[in-house]
Amino acid sequence: MEIYTSNSIAETEEIAKEIAKRLTNGGFLALYGGMGAGKTAFVRGLVKALCPECLDLVHSPTFAIVNEYRGNNIDIFHFDLYRLTDEDDLYSTGFYDYIEQGGVTITEWSELFENELPEDAIKLKIENVGENVRRFTLC
């Protein structure tokens, strides 16, 4: 278990850059943490690190369940599971096909589909511990 503390969005992006080193094609990163924790901010940093050419595409997937960032060397599939209610919903998004494709998959609101995550998922909990302070716990 590793703990990182961020005092700003810029620091969150630095932490994302560190954690990005563990993610290669086929990897899965499950993000945990409530509204405004900083999951999307973290993903922005991660995409910056793994796929700089994808950057202008990054936005919160709140209105889309999944955003795809197709890079030169890597594909990133960014899910927000918040508005999905059951496994049929999840299936409809193409989730199970995406995770077979060999890109990097990242999920926001992973706690809602704990049983559907791959066994080798890297888990990252984000906690809001102050206005601009976030604690990241990686397992």
Ligand X SMILES: Nc1ncnc2c1ncn2[C@@H]1O[C@H](COP(=O)(O)OP(=O)(O)OP(=O)(O)O)[C@@H](O)[C@H]1O
Site residues for ligand X per CB under 6 A:
6-9, 11-12, 33, 35-41, 60, 62, 108, 132, 134
Per-position x/- string for 87-126, each x denoting binding to Mg ion as judged by CB under 5 A, each - no binding: ---------------------x------------------
Of 22, 24, 17, the residue nearest 47 (C-alpha): 17
Residue recorded with tokens 């193409």: 94
- For the CB of residue 100, give the shortest distance to ligand X in the complex, in Å: 25
Give yes or no for a contact between 104 and 24, defined as CB atoms under 8 angstroms apart: yes
Nearer to ligand X, 9 or 57 (CB): 9
Cα–Cα distance measured from residue 109 to residue 79, given in angstroms and rounded to the nearest whole number: 9
Strands 104-108 and 122-130: unpaired
**Residue 36 touches which of Mg ion, ligand X, none (CB < 5 to 8 A by kind)?**
ligand X
Give yes or no for a contact between 112 and 79, defined as CB atoms under 8 angstroms apart: no
Q: How many residues does the chain have?
A: 139
Closest residue to Mg ion, based on beta-carbon distance: 40
**Residue 3 touches which of ligand X, Mg ion, none (CB < 5 to 8 A by kind)?**
none
Residues that bind Mg ion (CB under 5 A): 39-40, 60, 108
